[in-house]
Amino acid sequence: MSKSPTSRLLKPVIAKLVTILPIPEDHKDPLASTAQFCHAALGSISPEKAGEHKLPIEKYPPYFDWCPEYDFISTSRRISRLLGLPQQQSDDAAQLVISELGSNRIGLNKAQLFLDPTFENIRDAHLGFLLKGLPFEEGRYKPTTATMAIASKVIPKPDTSWASRLGLMSKQPSTHFNGNVLEIVARSKCYVWSFPPAKLSETTTASMDIFDGWVGSGGEYDRNRASLGMGFVIIAEPWGSKDPATGKAHDQYNFYVPHWLYDERYAKLRPDSDGWRVGNILDKSIYEGWPNGTKLKWHLHGGIRSLPQIKSCLKCSSLYIERANALPGMPVTCKCHVAAMVAAKAAASTAYDMGYRAGLNASDGSAI
Ligand SMILES: [Zn+2]
C-alpha cells in the first residue's frame, strides 16, 4: 500500500476492519480489499482513483457539526464482488465499514471538491457519481449535505466566484469581534488561506457542508436549509501577548471563517437573489506557545507569509489581494481603482476621438 496521507489516515480503520469483516481465510489480500471497501464508502471510488485525483479525504475534528454521507450501495456491492458474500452478509459488512469510518470521523471533503478549481475537470462527473450513492426515496435523492443538495438540484447553487464570496463577507456587519472584516483587514496585516485543513478545528468550518430538508404536506421540500463553508479563512498577523496565569509569552493568530447559509423562506422573500447569504463569520484563535497547544506551522508549513496578503478599501468596501495569479479569479484591485481606470480609459479614448476629429476637420479644411 502506498504511503499517501489518505492511506495513513485509513490505516487504523483498515487494520480494525480486517479483524471484524467476514473475510474468507483464503482471501488473497484482505488489506487491499478492505481499502477498496473504504473508498467505495467514502465516495472516492478506489485507492487508485483517490490518489490519481488527489481527492480531499479528511479526518474531521470532534465537536464539529459534520454530516458524513457514505455510499452504502457501492460498498455492499464491492464487498459482495470481492468476498463472494450473499446480499444480507454484504449489507451487514458494509454497515461495519461505514460505522468504522464514521466513528473515526473520516470523510470526503465535498465542500472542497465543489469549490476548488483544481477539481474543475472532474467535479461534475464526480458529484454525479456521488449522487447515485445517495438513498433514493419518493422519487428523489435524499441528501444530507449542502453539496449533494445542490448536485441533486434540491436547492440552487451559490455564486462561487471570489468576487461574490468576498463581497458577501465584506457586507456582513460584525457583532462578535472588533469591527467588521473590512476594518480588521485595513487595521492589520491579513492573509487568505484557501482550503485550510478540515482537521484543524479553528478552520474546519471552511469545509462545513450540511443540508436539512423537511418534506411538506404536498410532498415538496418547503423548509430547506443548508450551510456550506466558503473554502477559505482570513488570518491576521499574530500579536504577542502573555498568559496572565503563567506569564509565558505566546503568539495569537486570529482566524475569520465565513460560511454560506441557504434558507428557502429567505429565498422566497427575495426572488432576485439566489437565496444564499453569509450564515456567520466565525472568529477563532490559535495561541502558539501555549503548552500542548496547536502550532500553526504544523498545518501551514510555510507560515502565514507564504499566503497572499489581503487588502481592503473602506471607500468602496472591497477585499482584494495584490499578488496577481496567487488565487485564480481573486480580485487584485479595489472597485475605486477599477472605476478610475475605466474613467481614465474613457477620457483617453474621448481625447483620441476629439483629436482624431480635429485632425479630420483640419485635413477637410486643407482639402477645400
Ligand atoms: Zn476602493
Question: Cα(134)–Cα(213) distance, rounded to whole angstroms?
Answer: 14
Task: Place 360 in a pLDDT band, splitting at 50, 70 and 90.
Answer: low
pLDDT tens readout for residues 193-252: 999 999 998 999 999 999 987 654 455 556 789 999 999 999 999 888 777 777 778 888
Q: What is the pLDDT of residue 367?
A: 42
Q: Per the domain annotation, does 349 fall within a domain?
A: no
Ligand 1 centre distance from Cα of residue 335 (Å)? 5
Same-domain check for residues 221 and 293: yes
DSSP code, position 308: P
Task: Place 362 in a pLDDT band, splitting at 50, 70 and 90.
Answer: low
Q: Per-residue pLDDT for 90 more than 70?
A: yes
Q: Per the domain annotation, does 340 fall within a domain?
A: no
pLDDT tens readout for residues 123-155: 999 999 999 988 887 777 889 999 999 999 889
Ligand 1 centre distance from Cα of residue 173 (Å)? 18
Q: Per the domain annotation, does 295 fall within a domain?
A: yes
Same-domain check for residues 89 and 177: no
DSSP code, position 215: B
Question: Cα(237)–Cα(189) distance, rounded to whole angstroms?
Answer: 5
Q: Per the domain annotation, does 37 fall within a domain?
A: yes
Same-domain check for residues 98 and 208: no
User: Higher confidence at residue 121 or residue 173?
Assistant: 121
Same-domain check for residues 209 and 310: yes
Ligand 1 centre distance from Cα of residue 308 (Å)? 19
Same-domain check for residues 191 and 287: yes
Give which of 1, 23, 148 is closest to 96, Cα–Cα.
Answer: 23
Question: Cα(39)–Cα(258) distance, rounded to whole angstroms?
Answer: 30
What total number of domains does the chain contain?
2
Q: Which domain holds residue 79?
A: 5-108
Place of cell 453569509: 278
Q: What is the pLDDT of residue 340?
A: 75
Which residues are CB-neighbours of 9 under 8 A, at least 6 positions away? 57, 58, 59, 106
Q: Per the domain annotation, does 234 fall within a domain?
A: yes
Give which of 31, 48, 94, 41 is closest to 71, Cα–Cα.
Answer: 41
Q: Per-residue pLDDT for 293 more than 90?
A: no
Percent residues over pLDDT 70 in the chain: 90
Of 84, 108, 132, the last residue of a domain is 108
304-319: average pLDDT: 94
Question: Cα(57)–Cα(109) distance, rounded to whole angstroms?
Answer: 6
Ligand 1 centre distance from Cα of residue 322 (Å)? 13
What is the residue-averaged pLDDT of the chain?
A: 87
98-108: average pLDDT: 96
Ligand 1 centre distance from Cα of residue 207 (Å)? 30
Q: Give me 95's grid cell.
A: 454497515
DSSP class per residue in 147-193: HHHHHTTSSPPP--SHHHHHHHHHHPPPSSSSS-HHHHHHHS-EEEE
Ligand 1 centre distance from Cα of residue 166 (Å)? 14
Ligand 1 centre distance from Cα of residue 181 (Å)? 15
pLDDT tens readout for residues 30-87: 999 999 999 999 999 999 999 999 999 999 998 777 778 999 999 999 999 999 999 9
Residue 336: phi and psi, rounded to 5, are -65, -40
Ligand 1 centre distance from Cα of residue 237 (Å)? 22
Same-domain check for residues 170 and 35: no
Same-domain check for residues 320 and 197: yes
Q: Per the domain annotation, does 126 fall within a domain?
A: no
Q: What is the pLDDT of residue 365?
A: 46
Same-domain check for residues 303 and 169: yes
354-365: average pLDDT: 62
Global model pTM greater than 0.85 = yes
Question: Cα(245)–Cα(49) distance, rounded to whole angstroms?
Answer: 51
Ligand 1 centre distance from Cα of residue 340 (Å)? 10
Same-domain check for residues 214 and 100: no
User: Higher confidence at residue 113 or residue 323?
Assistant: 113
Same-domain check for residues 188 and 261: yes
Q: Per the domain annotation, does 316 fall within a domain?
A: yes
Same-domain check for residues 71 and 179: no
Q: Per-residue pLDDT for 21 more than 80?
A: yes
Ligand 1 centre distance from Cα of residue 215 (Å)? 45
Ligand 1 centre distance from Cα of residue 77 (Å)? 57
Ligand 1 centre distance from Cα of residue 321 (Å)? 13
Question: Cα(192)–Cα(307) distance, rounded to whole angstroms?
Answer: 6
Q: Per-residue pLDDT for 166 more than 80?
A: yes
333-357: average pLDDT: 76
Asked if 230 and 159 touch (Cβ cutoff 8 Å), the reply is no
Of 63, 84, 108, the last residue of a domain is 108
Q: Per the domain annotation, does 258 fall within a domain?
A: yes
Of 108, 126, 149, the last residue of a domain is 108
Q: What is the pLDDT of residue 83?
A: 96
User: Higher confidence at residue 113 or residue 286?
Assistant: 113
Same-domain check for residues 178 and 309: yes
